[in-house]
């Protein structure tokens, strides 16, 4: 028993001597600001400490003091990073950032977004107004010296994120116009439908998974805007664009190119494709332009019908494994095997769509406002990297789905001499 007691006392004495139990190193003491000369000077100058945070900002094993200091008389605020002097008797100011008077402090975060073990001071500032919120992000950290690593100002709507982001992301959001007064004309409605998720606010994301977070900011999202017969407008969000800032040399620098997420990147794959007729070689009788060419991802190939009416009345049908959501359909209604083919051959002017539910919709490319349910709009856009070719974009009602879709040619925009009919590509999303 005596030997056990002696062993315990020896161990306790050794721990004490090493400072692991009762020594100052056992409990990491923090220098109380108000008891230091600097703290007393701040009080004398009439400055008020709004917040205090301790963190090892420079990685030397000693905590810095991160302050938000108020100036009641002038109405200003300052971010200050203080470091203990060698004698641990006072603080030294290592970094200072004056917050603009027009901005209010939303919050201060201490977080290691750079992944180097040294946290950064992240200031979220704002300037509220009834219609929009002016926001400002300011990041401060240590890389050789304490400095400002990033600053960015942007606007956001009260219920949404960064101003470049589009309201209604991730769903649809009809506008809410004021109620019509008796006898007054109706206010056109505006609706936004997103084909994918758009991040609405600035985020810290480790894009390349190297342990360091990038700053990702929503930019202008591409849309397809369609007018309706009732005078309203529907804006379809077909992608998301983001500015990306990466850490370089201790500061965040914008990438040369924005990050783009295309919501219409992968079309629905058809299980089978059937056509009423297919063009064949007169000598060999072999099919030269089968139905499959209309959905092979290559606009240079095409389904070419061989009906007696020169394509009018011919149809092509796409079958899917199951009932699939249909948000949009893109059709290239002409020939594209070379640069001149579009102008030298007939183009499909009018066509109909028939779905597994039995619903049908007639599409006239020259009258995009005359649409029928389940179609909500038709838009024509130039086909990239071509002279005169276009792509016809057909947009559907939210939540619409079908097991199949049949495209029937009803009328043509004919050339004067010769020519054939091509359906170069059909892409369903």
Q: Residues of the chain with pLDDT > 70: what percent?
A: 84
55-66 confidence digits (pLDDT tens): 999 999 999 999
d(CA 370, CA 349): 14
Phi first, then psi: give them for residue 16, nearest 5 degrees.
Answer: -65, -45
d(CA 81, CA 273): 68
Q: Token pair for residue 423?
A: 């359906």
Whether 139 contacts 123, CB under 8 Å: yes
CATH code of the region 272-428: 2.60.120.260
DSSP H stretches of helix in 213-350? 341-344
Whether 184 contacts 178, CB under 8 Å: no
Q: Token pair for residue 416?
A: 């004067």
Whether 179 contacts 186, CB under 8 Å: no
What is the reported pLDDT for 230? 66
Closest alpha carbon to 146 in 251, 261, 3, 295: 251
Residue 24 in this model has a pLDDT that exceeds 50: no
Residue 220 in this model has a pLDDT that exceeds 80: yes
Q: H/E element holding 51? A: strand 48-55
108-163 confidence digits (pLDDT tens): 999 999 999 999 999 999 987 666 678 999 999 999 999 999 999 987 654 433 43
> What string of DSSP letters covers 244-270?
EEEEETTEEEE-SS-EEEETTSSPPPP
Phi first, then psi: give them for residue 171, nearest 5 degrees.
Answer: 180, -145
Residue 191 in this model has a pLDDT that exceeds 90: no
Sheet-wide strand order for 223-227: 172-174, 190-194, 233-237, 223-227
CA 294 from centroid of its chain's CA atoms: 31
Tell me the sheet residues that pair with 407. 316, 353
What is the reported pLDDT for 387? 86
407-425 confidence digits (pLDDT tens): 999 999 999 888 999 999 9
Residue 177 in this model has a pLDDT that exceeds 70: no
- Tell me the pLDDT band of 257, cut-offs 50, 70 and 90: very high
3-state secondary structure of 277: coil
332-363 confidence digits (pLDDT tens): 999 999 989 999 999 999 999 999 999 999 99
What is the reported pLDDT for 53? 96
What is the reported pLDDT for 134? 86
Residue 326 in this model has a pLDDT that exceeds 90: yes
d(CA 386, CA 333): 14
Sheet-wide strand order for 76-84: 48-55, 64-71, 76-84, 91-99
266-279 confidence digits (pLDDT tens): 999 999 999 999 99
d(CA 254, CA 215): 9
Residue spans of beta strands (DSSP E) within 298-400: 315-325, 328-332, 347-355, 360-364, 375-382, 390-396
Question: Per-residue b/e over 56-78, b at no fewer than 16 CB within 10 Å?
Answer: ebbeeeebbbbbbbbeeeeeebe
What is the reported pLDDT for 157? 54
- Tell me the pLDDT band of 71, cut-offs 50, 70 and 90: very high
What is the reported pLDDT for 335? 97
What is the reported pLDDT for 156? 65
For tokens 């700053």, the residue is: 215
What is the reported pLDDT for 404? 98
What is the reported pLDDT for 418? 84
Residue 8 in this model has a pLDDT that exceeds 50: no
Residue 27 in this model has a pLDDT that exceeds 50: no
Tell me: cis bond preceding 374? Omega within 30 of 0 counts.
yes
Residue 16 in this model has a pLDDT that exceeds 90: no
Q: How far is CA 175 from CA 128, 179, 190, 232, in A?
A: 22, 12, 5, 10
- Work out the average pLDDT over 311-316: 97
Closest alpha carbon to 125 in 115, 135, 133: 135
Domain boundaries, the chain: 159-180+188-265, 272-428
Whether 121 contacts 110, CB under 8 Å: yes
- Work out the average pLDDT over 240-249: 96
d(CA 414, CA 333): 12
Q: Token pair for residue 21?
A: 């139990």
Taking CA 114 as the corner, what is the angle to CA 109 and CA 118, rounded to the nearest 5 degrees? 70
Sheet-wide strand order for 401-413: 272-275, 315-325, 401-413, 347-355, 360-364
Residue 228 in this model has a pLDDT that exceeds 80: no
What is the reported pLDDT for 242? 96
Q: Token pair for residue 216?
A: 């990702």
* Mean pLDDT score across all residues of the chain: 86
């Amino acid at each position: 028993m005596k030997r056990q007691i002696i062993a315990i006392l020896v161990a306790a004495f050794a721990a004490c001597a090493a400072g692991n139990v009762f020594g100052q190193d056992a409990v990491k003491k923090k220098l109380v600001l108000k008891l230091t000369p600097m703290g007393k000077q701040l009080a004398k100058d009439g400055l008020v400490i709004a917040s205090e945070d301790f963190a090892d900002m420079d990685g030397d094993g000693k905590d810095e003091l991160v302050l938000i200091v108020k100036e009641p008389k002038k109405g200003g605020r300052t971010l200050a990073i203080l470091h203990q002097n060698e004698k641990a008797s006072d603080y030294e100011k290592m970094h200072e950032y004056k917050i603009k008077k027009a901005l209010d402090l939303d919050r201060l975060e201490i977080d290691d977004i750079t992944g180097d073990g040294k946290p950064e001071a992240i200031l979220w500032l704002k300037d509220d107004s009834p219609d929009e919120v002016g926001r400002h992000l300011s990041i401060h950290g240590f890389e050789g010296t304490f400095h400002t690593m990033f600053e960015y100002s942007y606007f956001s709507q009260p219920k949404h994120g960064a101003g470049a982001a589009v309201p209604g992301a991730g769903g649809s959001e009809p506008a809410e116009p004021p109620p019509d007064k008796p006898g007054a004309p109706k206010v056109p409605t505006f609706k936004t439908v997103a084909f994918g998720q758009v991040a609405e606010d600035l985020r810290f994301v480790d894009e390349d998974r190297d342990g360091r977070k990038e700053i990702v900011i929503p930019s202008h999202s591409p849309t397809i805007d369609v007018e309706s017969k009732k005078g309203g407008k529907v804006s379809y969000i077909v992608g998301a664009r983001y500015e990306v800032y990466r850490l370089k040399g201790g500061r965040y620098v914008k990438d040369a190119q924005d990050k783009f997420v295309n919501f219409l990147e992968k079309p629905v794959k058809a299980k089978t494709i059937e056509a009423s007729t297919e063009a064949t070689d007169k000598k060999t009788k072999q099919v030269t332009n089968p139905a499959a060419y209309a959905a092979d991802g290559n606009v240079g190939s095409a389904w070419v019908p061989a009906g007696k009416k020169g394509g009018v009345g011919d149809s092509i049908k796409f079958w899917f494994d199951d009932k699939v959501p249909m948000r949009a359909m893109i059709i290239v209604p002409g020939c594209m095997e070379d640069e001149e083919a579009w102008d030298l051959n007939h183009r499909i002017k009018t066509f109909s769509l028939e779905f597994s539910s039995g619903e049908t919709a007639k599409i006239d490319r020259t009258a995009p406002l005359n649409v029928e349910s389940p179609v909500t709009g038709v838009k024509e856009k130039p086909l990239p990297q071509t002279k005169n070719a276009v792509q016809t974009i057909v947009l559907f009602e939210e939540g619409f789905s079908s097991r199949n879709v049949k495209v029937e040619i009803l009328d043509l925009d004919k050339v004067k001499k010769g020519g054939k009919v091509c359906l170069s590509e059909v892409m369903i999303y």
